[in-house]
Amino acid sequence: GQQVMQIPQYQHVQEGEDFTTYCNSSTTLSNIQWYKQRPGGHPVFLIQLVKSGEVKKQKRLTFQFGEAKKNSSLHITATQTTDVGTYFCALEYGNKLVFGAGTILRVKS
């Protein structure tokens, strides 16, 4: 079956430090989505990447899609306490959306 690996599982950073989560697939992807879930909340769509090598930015967030379209990353510059939550990648496999296990981000102020 489809293998989706998301690392790290958990990261605790000092406010102002950078944060990166990685998503790796065992197969070539057509596209990948990223979602954020705040503690006690529901997943919220952040972005979709489609093109090989694509880089998209949303303020302090930078999303990358690998050249081989088998991996992706989400990088947050200078984390803030509002960034806490779980970040999920999501990809399609057999007409189903498969979510990574998520990376839990905690920010110390």
Nearer CB in complex with another protein: 17/92: 92
Q: How many residues bind another protein (CB under 8 A)?
A: 22
DSSP state of 40: T
Interaction with another protein in 40-69: which residues (CB under 8 A)?
Answer: 41-45, 48
* Cβ–Cβ < 8 Å for 90, 35: yes
**97 interacts with another protein by CB under 8 A:** yes
| CB 109, min distance to another protein, A | 26
Q: Could you tell me the smallest distance in angstroms from the CB atom of residue 30 to another protein?
A: 7
Tell me the pairing of strands 43-49 and 32-37.
antiparallel
* Alpha carbons 20 and 60: distance in angstroms, whole number: 12
